[in-house]
Amino acid sequence: MTSLMYCGITKDIFEMFGLMIDEGTGIDEVTLSTVLKALALSVPANLHSCELIHCWSVKTGYASDVAVSCSLIDAYSKSGQNEVSRKVFMELESPNIFCWTSIINGYARNGMGRECLEVLREMDQKSLIPDEVTILSVLSGCSHSGLVEEGELIFDSLETKYGISPGRKLYACMVDLLGRAGLVEKAERLLRQARGDADCIAWSSLLQSCRIHRNESIGRRAAEVLMDLEPEDFAVYIQVSKFYFEMGNFEISRQIREIAASRELMREIGYSSVILKS
């Protein structure tokens, strides 16, 4: 079942789970967690299936298991049932950092930034220290809810309050938050400050924001940095070319495409592994 999930074949996982029940095969917390993770990966997550597996978890006594509970929270939030996710969380006697992160991530996924902040405050009150993944989820929620000031306060207090040194993912998340709000100047200053912790993803996010908010001057600088960081990435040249095209600089857009072609940069195509039987 884990191998099937790794390959993205979620439908077969549900069928296999049904076969295990029919044949009386022992089902443990790992099985239930795996099925729930597969359910969360399916688009869209099926609420009825969530409820069935939840009932089975209660019946078998695994509903209080941390891994199963986190997977339940994730699956319910994927199907838009944040109230049920919260109920699952509240029923845990001693939720660990992974449980707290799961509920925050669920809120963030559904654009409920203020709820993310509220859960983080609850953690502070209980003297629980969030990790980088928790903070990423909170900032993501702030980004999708337009809570710029709140996100900045959290980011600026990471080292003093939580002992977390911002890395590439956190910088990229903050650039996304600022860029969505049109604060591309502030986002660029943050990336210049980050230096080695500013990667291709962050600069790509800045360029995308410049394209949306039509800031050509910062977009040009972001494009230059991006091509310096990933000189062999065809997707980067396409993004930069598209930026200049939408800014009305058709000649530069064409030149960048020609540079990519002259370097014989190509998209990585898919391939299949075939076994021939003689």
- pLDDT at site 62: 87
- pLDDT at site 265: 59
- pLDDT of 57 > 90? The answer is no
Closest listed residue to residue 57, CA positions, set 48, 47, 65, 49: 65
- pLDDT at site 267: 52
Residues 52 and 72 sit within 8 Å (Cβ to Cβ): no
- pLDDT at site 197: 67
The DSSP call for residue 60 is: H
Confidence of residue 50 (pLDDT cuts 50, 70, 90): confident
Return the amino acid letter for 74.
Answer: D
Residues 12 and 4 sit within 8 Å (Cβ to Cβ): yes
Give CA–CA dist 41/183, Å, rounded.
33
User: Is the bond preceding 44 in cis, omega lying within 30 degrees of 0?
Assistant: yes
Residues 141 and 174 sit within 8 Å (Cβ to Cβ): no
Using CA atoms, how far residue 32 sits from 35, 71, 142, 231, 233, in Å, is 5, 9, 32, 45, 40
Give CA–CA dist 19/88, Å, rounded.
27
- pLDDT of 268 > 60? The answer is no
Give ∠ CA 196-197-201 in degrees, rounded to 5: 115
Give ∠ CA 81-82-87 in degrees, rounded to 5: 100
- pLDDT at site 275: 62
Closest listed residue to residue 69, CA positions, set 52, 82, 87, 49: 87
Return the amino acid letter for 19.
Answer: L
- pLDDT of 70 > 70? The answer is yes
- pLDDT of 150 > 90? The answer is yes
Closest listed residue to residue 159, CA positions, set 139, 135, 186: 135
Q: What is the pLDDT of residues 204-240, one digit of tens each?
A: 999 999 999 999 999 999 999 999 988 888 889 999 9
- pLDDT at site 138: 96
Using CA atoms, how far residue 7 sits from 3, 33, 167, in Å, is 6, 17, 30
Confidence of residue 193 (pLDDT cuts 50, 70, 90): confident
Q: Write out the DSSP string of 112-135.
A: -HHHHHHHHHHHHHTTPPP-HHHH
Global confidence as pTM = 0.82
Confidence of residue 23 (pLDDT cuts 50, 70, 90): confident
| Chain mean pLDDT for the chain | 87
Give CA–CA dist 124/130, Å, rounded.
9
- pLDDT at site 156: 93
Give CA–CA dist 29/165, Å, rounded.
34
Which tops the pLDDT comparison, 26 or 73?
A: 73
Give CA–CA dist 79/43, Å, rounded.
9
Confidence of residue 157 (pLDDT cuts 50, 70, 90): very high
Q: Write out the DSSP string of 173-199.
A: HHHHHHHHTT-HHHHHHHHHHHGGG--
Give residue limits of the domains in the chain. Answer: 1-93, 196-266
